[in-house]
């Protein structure tokens, strides 16, 4: 008998035939069927046990994911009018279903009964953890509320979901609505050849002659870093940092101001209705951190450790800029430009000088070689799988010749694709109804500038670390050894620990031994010259204090916005940000800067009152990497221990327990501060 095509074996979405318009009706039917099946499951009160309850729920979730998942994914990577309309129609249905499920008292009591039964002690660690997390999540979803409160909770969640979608849509529309056309390159002095080629391609795509600047990050970064005309940098800075706001060239057109205010208010109500003082405490209830005040102390300790260095970084930059342009104070749109010039002056190193050695195909091959040496896994491309764009690839991850997972790779920026980089689940590892193991499948998405002509895409070193970062998330999902879907991969992992595997993998972008594997000139294959390599490593911590201060600004703003909210006297979102900047920022933003209106992580993503997770997990990742520094960065025993203790464990145990299992102790910030060349902060 001929074997099934891979796409059928894995039950992958057929993106070539997906009918977005007809999805809502199918979803209605599926949600009704799920609720009916759950009612039947919990109706068998005397016979409910783990085997009769959890696998059946996993099948329901997986079936729903197969229906909704492709549309949700396309909303991020191919947001056409029909996809957006279908998504907007389906999202309220999914939100209502999730709320109804989270408040299903019979289902909750079935899990409570299971946790109190004699059977519970016989369950595996993963199964016990899943049951415990389910009970916790039922409580957070308001299962104990009275009927009127449950209705109110459901309405609040519905409004929050709709507002987050509108925030994301506004940001995408505002980003795509702005462009600036140049008939020739005279006004683009300083821009490197790669950026000029991208601008030419952008113009061609819009049937224009010359050059077109857009607000995708690659173009924005190139202009801010290299454009000699200060007026152009200011114009681009203003357009980018006022997107979806009341300010700037599109002021009021896609304005997220009221959406942010409403979201913070709704989140506070949700937190209070289920018994928390504020949304920050509600958010931290599912994380490693003990409390919101404990998170604030962690951030302020880091701030006290890094601010002197950040101020020194800024003073040095101002002194250098004064030498170049006279005594005018540095504006926000000058910082990247003069920072690059100072870096070149101090280290004789230009970011553009490195890009020919970081061609995407070579970096991608190097990434696969690096994880092979760490874990022993092999990554190979697959054919015959439907994708949503011709540039998207599909790959298998195998260990000792046996497939353990698969992933889609969507790496280039384009219209109707939201900015940033992310990993999402396509399929979870779990056993199906027929007893067959379903392997995990991931979506891995970046927004690099596409290749031009015969030349491959050339990455900055920052983009190299982005690629490694997202692949680290993907490995966390695909390398799981856990068969309980709810705690396999990234599921059930505390949000402030979920960045550990991704941030950990970034470290191999800075090691001479690993860089030698892929830093090669795209035309000659000559390795990165030793002199350039040493300059790059020497410049690693250039302005590290300023960068950390910026991350602390974002984290404290997010935390305090949700922790200190007073419904009777709500503080304006801008006022919260201004106060945080006054406390920790060393780069002064202009009064019309509206960064928050594009802060999708906390207003349209999963990081509300949790953006601190990046810094928290960076502490964990630096500490874990210190063991590799001691043992050898490609020590196979250490890689095997990492897979066994952390990468493969998902959410099957508490994140702190997993960390201690690997490191033999609790975490400290020492390694992070050493890696950044800083001193003076205390531990978690």
Catalytic residues: 470
Burial class of 207 by CB neighbour count within 10 A (0 to 12, 13 to 18, 19+):
exposed
Backbone angles phi, psi at 590, to 5 degrees: -65, 160
**Burial class of residue 239 in the structure, from the number of CB atoms within 10 Å of its CB (0-12 exposed, 13-18 middle, 19+ buried):** buried
Show contacts of 430-433: CB within 8 Å, 24+ apart: 430/58, 430/62, 430/483, 430/484, 430/485, 430/488, 431/55, 431/58, 431/483, 432/59, 432/62, 433/55, 433/59
| Positions of E strands within 38-99 | none
619 vs 548: CA distance, rounded Å:
12
> How many CB atoms within 10 Å of residue 291?
14
Query: Are 343 and 353 a contacting pair, CB within 8 Å?
Result: no
- Give the Cα-Cα-Cα angle 101, 141, 606 (nearest 5 degrees): 100
Asked if 411 and 437 touch (Cβ cutoff 8 Å), the reply is no
Give the position of tokens 């931290």: 284
d(CA 510, CA 500): 17
- What's the DSSP call for residue 442? E
Q: Are strands 430-431 and 422-427 parallel, antiparallel or unpaired?
A: unpaired
SS3 content of the chain, % helix, strand, coil (to 5): 60, 10, 30
């Amino acid at each position: 008998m001929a074997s099934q095509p891979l796409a059928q074996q894995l039950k992958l979405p057929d993106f070539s035939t997906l009918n977005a318009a007809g999805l809502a009706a199918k979803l209605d039917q599926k949600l009704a069927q799920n609720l009916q099946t759950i009612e039947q499951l919990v109706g068998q009160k005397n016979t409910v046990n783990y085997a009769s309850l959890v696998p059946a729920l996993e099948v329901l979730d997986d079936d729903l994911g197969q229906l909704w998942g492709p549309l949700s994914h396309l909303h991020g990577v191919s947001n056409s009018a029909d996809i957006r309309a279908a998504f907007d129609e389906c999202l309220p249905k999914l939100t209502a279903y999730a709320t109804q499920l989270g408040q299903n008292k019979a289902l909750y009591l079935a899990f409570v009964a299971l946790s109190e039964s004699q059977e519970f002690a016989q369950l595996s660690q993963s199964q016990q953890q899943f049951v415990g997390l389910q009970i916790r999540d039922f409580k957070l979803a308001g299962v104990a509320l009275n009927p009127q409160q449950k209705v109110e909770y459901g309405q609040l969640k519905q409004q929050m979901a709709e507002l987050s979608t509108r925030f994301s849509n506004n940001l995408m529309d505002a980003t795509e609505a702005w462009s600036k056309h140049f008939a020739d390159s005279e006004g683009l002095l300083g821009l490197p050849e790669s950026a000029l080629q991208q601008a030419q391609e952008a113009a061609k795509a819009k049937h224009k002659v010359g050059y077109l600047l857009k607000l995708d990050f690659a173009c924005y970064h190139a202009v801010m870093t290299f454009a000699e005309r200060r007026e152009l940098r200011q114009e681009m800075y203003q357009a980018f940092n006022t997107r979806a706001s009341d300010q700037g060239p599109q002021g009021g057109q896609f304005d997220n101001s009221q959406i942010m205010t409403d979201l913070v208010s709704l989140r506070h109500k949700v937190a209070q209705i289920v018994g928390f003082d504020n949304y920050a405490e509600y958010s931290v209830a599912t994380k490693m951190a003990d409390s919101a005040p404990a998170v604030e102390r962690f951030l302020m300790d880091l701030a006290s450790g890094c601010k002197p260095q950040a101020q020194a970084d800024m003073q040095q930059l101002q002194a250098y800029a004064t030498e170049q342009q006279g005594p005018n104070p540095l504006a926000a749109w000058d910082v990247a430009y003069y920072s690059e010039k100072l870096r070149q002056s101090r280290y004789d190193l230009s970011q553009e000088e490195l890009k020919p050695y970081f061609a995407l195909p070579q970096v991608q091959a190097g990434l696969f070689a690096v994880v092979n040496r760490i874990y022993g896994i092999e990554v190979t491309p697959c054919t015959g799988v439907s994708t949503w764009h011709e540039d998207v690839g599909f790959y298998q991850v195998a260990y000792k010749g046996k497939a353990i997972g698969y992933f889609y790779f969507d790496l280039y920026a384009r219209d109707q694709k939201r900015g940033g980089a992310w990993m999402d689940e396509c399929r979870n590892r779990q056993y199906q109804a027929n007893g067959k193991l379903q392997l995990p499948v991931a979506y891995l998405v970046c927004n690099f500038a596409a290749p031009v002509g015969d030349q491959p895409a050339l990455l900055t070193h920052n983009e190299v670390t982005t690629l490694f970062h997202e692949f680290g998330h993907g490995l966390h999902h695909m390398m799981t050894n856990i068969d309980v879907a709810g705690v396999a991969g990234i599921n059930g992992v505390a949000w402030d620990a979920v960045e550990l595997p991704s941030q950990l993998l970034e470290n191999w972008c800075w090691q001479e031994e690993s860089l030698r594997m892929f830093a090669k000139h795209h035309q000659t294959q000559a390795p990165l010259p030793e002199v350039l390599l040493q300059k790059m490593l020497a410049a690693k911590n250039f302005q590290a204090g300023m960068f950390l201060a910026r991350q602390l600004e974002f984290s404290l703003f997010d935390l305090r916005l949700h922790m200190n909210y007073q419904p009777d006297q709500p503080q304006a979102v801008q006022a919260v940000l201004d106060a945080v900047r006054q406390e920790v920022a060393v780069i002064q933003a202009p009064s019309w800067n509206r960064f928050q209106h594009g802060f999708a992580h906390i207003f349209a993503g999963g990081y509300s009152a949790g953006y601190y997770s990046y810094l928290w997990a960076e502490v964990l990742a630096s500490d874990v990497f210190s063991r590799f520094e001691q043992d050898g960065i490609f020590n196979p025993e250490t890689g095997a221990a990492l897979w066994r203790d952390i990468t493969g464990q998902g959410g099957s145990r508490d994140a702190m327990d997993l960390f201690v299992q690997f490191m033999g102790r609790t975490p400290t910030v020492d390694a992070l501060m050493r890696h950044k060349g800083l001193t003076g902060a205390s531990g978690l």
